[in-house]
Amino acid sequence: MRLSVIGCGHLGIPHAAAMAEIGHEVVGVDLDRAKTDRLNSGQCPIHEDGLARLLATHTATGRLRFTTGITEAAAFADVHFLAVGTPIDADGRSYDTGQVFAAARALAPHLTRPCVVIGKSTVTVGTTGRLAALLARLAPAGDGVDVAWNPEFLREGHAIEDTLRPDRIVAGVSSQHAEDVIRAVYAPLLANNVPLYVTDPATAELIKGAANAYLGMKISFINGVADMCAAAGADVQQLAEALGTDPRIGRGSLGAGPGYGGGCLPKDLRAFTASAEALGAHDAAALLRAAGQLNDSRPAAALRLVEETLGHGVGGVKVTVWGASFKAGTEDVRESPALAVAALLHRRGAAVTVHDPLAGPTALAGHPGLDYEEDLEASVKGAELVVLATEWPQFREADHERLAGLVARPVLVDLRNLVDAGTWRAAGWTVRQLGRPAHRSARRSPPAPG
């Protein structure tokens, strides 16, 4: 099939590449010419496992290409995916769907044949209906333009894997034709028994919001329990392992840490809260709001653990923060909790050096006031404290014996409960971990039942 993917960011590029991989001819459209030029030469502006190979393969054969020309996309394809950004509105609560409607307005005059526009961006419930009305009014094809919503659940860092082997596909449709087209697009995945949930558009829009709101609540839940563990002298890591064995709960998203971040969860939870309020579900809104507030308090909780470890404030202390990306495996620093912690330490007077295996350059653009060091060992030279804020495996595997000789004081605050504290302590480090007692070595496996 011939597809267009409008909006080539963290969602659109992997989606376009994956659609080419399953056999479609794909044109990706973006406003940013520098980006489309790079993509056409097979270069990848974002980090995703397996993406560079797919781009190189499919741009070389011509099955995948990128353009800034929406006219070209409309002429080429009869299925148009919308993957533009939906940042949080100026009010800080609901989605700004300006990019979605701007892309639709740009596309509409060129839709002269019946086609299907399939939204993938995360939007407020009701957006599909408004978009369908707009396109019916502006497109020469009129009612021949079908609009469906097919929300995306990919995890950054695993975008290709998650697009080629998703847990489920959700299709919010208003017509049999749109359902048939979505089934045809994803036929190779459906043939591998990926479940397809066909719903009305409003349900599809809410499924996506509910999924991310739930993940955010789960992370806030375990972080709240981490506070309880800290106060009780208990161990949140052991607690989470035992809790997660219950299949009704599950182990995913139960890692205590500096809070959720990224381009999706924080804004999705805020927007879902606003939707709950707007729809009159005030108790649901209160539940969701509490999860957001708990997340907002995480940098301060991290600072408390740091000060408790040092026995004093951070003013004048030379601190190295390991991690800038919002999670491991990506260069994305949008709403990164690691950078929020680094910025808070800096505001409290610490001299902060940030090291990240990948995200230094993107972090520098948003936080030019912090110092950055590309090399892991160089980053800790002379440090009086190392704060581990992103769960990169490089930090777990770091040569702690060698590093102990480079720092001014071997003190580690591990906000991700990532390292084996026992071995670090044996090498002379003072180690504090979030929601865990001060002097218990890390246990890797849960204790035997009973």
Shorter beta-carbon distance to ligand NAD: residue 159 or 434:
159
Structure token pair of residue 156: 């950054």
User: For tokens 């907002």, what's the residue?
Assistant: 296
Give the Cα separation of 423 and 438 in Å (integer).
14
The CB-of-17 to ligand NAD minimum distance in angstroms stands at 13
Bridge partners, residue 398, by sequence: none
Select the residue whose beta carbon is closest to ligand NAD and give its number. Answer: 9
Bridge partners, residue 9, by sequence: none
> Helices 298-310 & 201-232, crossing angle to 10 degrees?
20
For ligand NAD (CB under 6 A), the number of binding residues is 26
Span of 80-88, 131-139, 278-286, 306-314 interacting with ligand NAD by CB under 6 A? 80-88
Cα atoms in the 13 Å half-sphere on the side-chain side of 13: 28
Give the Cα separation of 421 and 367 in Å (integer).
30
Give the Cα separation of 249 and 98 in Å (integer).
37
Span of 72-80, 82-90, 187-195, 409-417 interacting with ligand NAD by CB under 6 A? 82-90
Comparing C-alpha atoms, which of 167, 186, 166, 209 is closest to residue 116? 186
Catalytic residue among 8, 115, 229, 264: 264
Residues whose CB falls within 8 Å of the CB of residue 206, separated by 6 or more in sequence, listed in order: 125, 275
263 binds ligand NAD (CB under 6 A): yes
Provide the terminal-to-terminal Cα distance of the chain, rounded to the nearest Å. Answer: 57
Shorter beta-carbon distance to ligand NAD: residue 119 or 323:
119
The CB-of-374 to ligand NAD minimum distance in angstroms stands at 24
Give the Cα separation of 267 and 270 in Å (integer).
5
Shorter beta-carbon distance to ligand NAD: residue 121 or 379:
121
64 binds ligand NAD (CB under 6 A): no
99 binds ligand NAD (CB under 6 A): yes
Helix (H, G, I), strand (E, B), or coil: what is residue 334? coil
The CB-of-84 to ligand NAD minimum distance in angstroms stands at 4
Q: Residue ranges of the alpha helices (H) in 233-297? A: 236-244, 265-278, 282-296
Q: Residue ranges of the alpha helices (H) in 195-264? A: 201-232, 236-244
Bridge partners, residue 4, by sequence: 27, 80
Of 264, 319, 388, 412, which lies in the binding site for ligand NAD, with binding defined by CB under 6 A? 264
Of 1, 32, 297, 440, which lies in the binding site for ligand NAD, with binding defined by CB under 6 A? 32
The CB-of-196 to ligand NAD minimum distance in angstroms stands at 18
Give the Cα separation of 120 and 329 in Å (integer).
23
Helix (H, G, I), strand (E, B), or coil: what is residue 229? helix
Q: For 249, phi and psi rounded to 5 degrees?
A: -105, -55
Site for ligand NAD in 1-30 (CB under 6 A): 6-12, 29-30
Shorter beta-carbon distance to ligand NAD: residue 31 or 344:
31
85 binds ligand NAD (CB under 6 A): yes
Shorter beta-carbon distance to ligand NAD: residue 152 or 179:
152
Q: How far is CA 418 from CA 93, 151, 222, 343, 443, in A?
A: 33, 32, 16, 22, 11
102 binds ligand NAD (CB under 6 A): yes
The CB-of-129 to ligand NAD minimum distance in angstroms stands at 17
Shorter beta-carbon distance to ligand NAD: residue 87 or 195:
87
Residue 299 buriedness (CB in 10 A; 0-12 / 13-18 / 19+) = buried
Of 1, 22, 106, 190, which lies in the binding site for ligand NAD, with binding defined by CB under 6 A? 106
236 binds ligand NAD (CB under 6 A): no
Give the per-residue contact string, 146-185, with ligand NAD (x = CB under 6 A; - = no).
------x-x-x-----------------------------
Span of 99-107, 191-199, 383-391, 422-430 interacting with ligand NAD by CB under 6 A? 99-107
274 binds ligand NAD (CB under 6 A): no
Span of 79-87, 246-254, 273-281, 417-425 interacting with ligand NAD by CB under 6 A? 79-87
The CB-of-354 to ligand NAD minimum distance in angstroms stands at 22
What is the DSSP code string of 394-417? Answer: HHHTS-HHHHHTTSSS-EEEETT-
Of 4, 122, 128, 417, which lies in the binding site for ligand NAD, with binding defined by CB under 6 A? 122
Q: Is residue 264 annotated as a catalytic residue, yes or no?
A: yes
Give the Cα separation of 366 and 376 in Å (integer).
21
The CB-of-267 to ligand NAD minimum distance in angstroms stands at 7
83 binds ligand NAD (CB under 6 A): yes
Could you give the angle at the alpha carbon of 39 between the alpha carbons of 36 and 41, nearest 5°? 115
The CB-of-83 to ligand NAD minimum distance in angstroms stands at 6
Active site residues: 264
Contact residues for ligand NAD, defined by CB under 6 A: 6-12, 29-32, 83-86, 99, 102-103, 106, 121-122, 152, 154, 156, 263-264
